[in-house]
């Protein structure tokens, strides 16, 4: 079937990720440097995924094994394939390596692994412009376009004629402010033909992908530009300074989006979102907080300063006090409504707290469930435990859940009171309504309603003198 302007062709995506990134001065390939807690390339793949491509071809070179592993972990393997660019001979050469994986029935969208913040909607608009066999370029006007290829247009109608790289440009051409961002969409059959004409007779001795624009014009193929006005979407990363600058721009936009939805931020310049943060109404977040993975904050949640929260669901009207670390990981952490957590508390993977639970300073909870109204307010550890309702867990008490080879569970039934400095040696069950006297080591199940004390008899020796140092 002949492609028309109304026919949507199959989409393939090429991601150029072969660069070493010398200016990064890092062992990591450039595409694996992290922005907002994720590799740069992961942001690019996330933007491309909603476009429903048939395949994604990643061109690798430096650190290829690491790049490919991250790509598989990010995207999955069902639509991925890899092309190797062993020699760094330019962007045109990179796309040439991808050609064996592309079919002529497709439009190909060419992206760079180090340009992480292009919006999916922008890519959709570029693809729409490429319909009907056109070559579509993503461009941007910059006041200071130094370092970028310039888009040269015809006088009068403004038709795109070619792109000239800065090192090959005349002084007059360098005054042009419209630059090529490195992102294009092209019909594969035509691109294959154009790439066959590339030569490295330029200032850098490389095969420029941008030369295909001139070949398309010479053939009479329409070349169109989708010019955006948001430089962040086209910003690449070549140095630690550029990476840090882009991080701040990204975080500021995240903060602005939160505030637009009604979230109160003590200082929008001091928040880091390294994943997804969803907030209800009347949420307040103090300074220097970091959110990782998938985090949801219910209505009225208050987050104190210097907290780190990863993969957690926080119920409404809960207060997270300063310096609390919630470390959800794959299992996640669930905190109910009207909880008070911290300061200096740590909730580890598998922690599940019901409503009105208190976890105080220097208390650690791991893989444990706490029932409604239970409290562990000071200097305590609960690991692999099931805690009922209304339990008071004393300062300095711990569950000894690990025997050196296996983990065991502690069950603390409703309304139990555990005194200070107790050791509960799992597996053990404390019966409902019971009390454990301070300083006890519990190795056997306790009866409901009973007082259980297990400690050595106190002995006092009158008139005892401490040893003294012997004189030399």
The residues assigned a catalytic role are 378
Three-class DSSP category at 344:
coil
Cα radius of gyration rounded to whole Å, the chain: 31
Calpha distance 447→293 (Å, rounded): 43
What torsion do the CA atoms of 346, 348, 351, 357 make, to the nearest 10 degrees?
A: 0
Calpha distance 79→55 (Å, rounded): 5
Can you say how many angstroms the Cα of residue 108 is from the centroid of all Cα atoms in its chain? 27
Closest alpha carbon to 150 in 142, 236, 59: 142
Q: Is 3 exposed, middle or buried (0-12, 13-18, 19+ CB in 10 A)?
A: middle
b/e for 123-160, b at 16 or more Cβ within 10 A? beebbebbbebbbbbbbbeeeebeebbbbbbeeeeeeb
End-to-end Cα, the chain, rounded Å: 104
Helix (H) or strand (E) holding 346: strand 346-347
Calpha distance 208→84 (Å, rounded): 17
Q: Specify whether the backbone of 122 is left (phi greater than 0), alpha (psi in -120 to 50) or beta.
A: alpha
Residue 338: HSE in the Cβ half-sphere, 13 Å Cα cutoff: 6
Question: Residue 50 in contact with residue 75, Cβ under 8 Å?
Answer: no
For the chain, the 3-state helix, strand and coil shares in percent, each to the nearest 5, are: 20, 30, 45
Closest alpha carbon to 400 in 412, 417, 383, 386: 383
């Amino acid at each position: 079937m002949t492609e028309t302007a109304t026919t949507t062709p199959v989409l393939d995506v090429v991601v150029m990720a072969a660069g070493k990134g010398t200016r990064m001065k890092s062992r990591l390939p450039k595409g694996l440097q992290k922005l907002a807690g994720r590799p740069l390339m992961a942001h690019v793949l996330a933007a491309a995924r909603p476009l429903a491509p048939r395949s994604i071809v990643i061109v690798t070179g430096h650190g290829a094994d690491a790049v490919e592993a991250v790509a598989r972990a990010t995207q999955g393997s069902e639509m991925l394939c890899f092309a190797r660019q062993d020699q760094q001979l330019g962007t045109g050469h990179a796309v040439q390596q991808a050609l064996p994986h592309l079919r002529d029935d497709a439009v190909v969208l060419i992206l760079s692994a180090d340009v992480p913040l292009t919006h999916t909607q922008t890519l959709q608009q570029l693809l729409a412009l490429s319909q009907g066999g056109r070559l579509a370029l993503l461009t941007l006007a910059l006041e200071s376009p130094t370092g970028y290829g310039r888009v040269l247009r015809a006088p009068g109608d403004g038709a795109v004629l070619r792109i000239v790289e800065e090192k090959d440009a005349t002084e007059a051409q360098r005054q042009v402010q419209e630059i090529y961002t490195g992102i294009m969409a092209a019909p594969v059959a035509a691109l294959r033909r154009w790439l066959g004409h590339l030569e490295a007779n330029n200032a850098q001795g490389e095969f420029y992908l941008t030369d295909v624009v001139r070949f398309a014009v010479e053939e009479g193929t329409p070349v169109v530009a989708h010019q955006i006005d948001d430089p962040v979407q086209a910003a690449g990363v070549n140095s630690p300074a550029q990476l840090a600058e882009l991080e701040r721009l990204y975080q500021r936009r995240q903060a602005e989006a939160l505030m637009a939805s009604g979230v109160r931020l003590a200082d929008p310049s001091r928040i880091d979102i390294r994943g997804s943060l969803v907030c209800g109404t009347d949420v307040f977040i103090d300074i220097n907080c970091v959110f990782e993975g998938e985090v949801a904050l219910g209505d009225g949640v208050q987050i104190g300063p210097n907290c780190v929260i990863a993969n957690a669901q926080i119920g409404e009207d809960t207060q997270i006090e300063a310096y609390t670390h919630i470390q959800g990981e794959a299992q996640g952490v669930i905190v109910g409504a009207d909880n008070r957590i911290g300061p200096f508390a740590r909730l580890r993977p598998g922690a599940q707290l019901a409503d009105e639970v208190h976890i105080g300073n220097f208390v650690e909870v791991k893989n444990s469930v706490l029932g409604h109204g239970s409290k562990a307010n000071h200097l305590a550890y609960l690991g692999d435990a099931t805690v009922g309702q209304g339990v008071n867990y004393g300062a300095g008490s711990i569950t000894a859940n690990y025997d050196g080879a296996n983990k065991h569970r502690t069950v603390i039934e409703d309304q139990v009171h555990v005194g200070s400095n107790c050791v509960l040696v799992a597996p053990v069950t404390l019966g409902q309504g019971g009390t454990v006297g301070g300083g006890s080591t519990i190795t056997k199940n306790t009866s409901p309603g009973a007082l259980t004390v297990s400690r050595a008899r106190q002995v006092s020796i009158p008139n005892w003198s401490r040893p003294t140092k012997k004189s030399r």
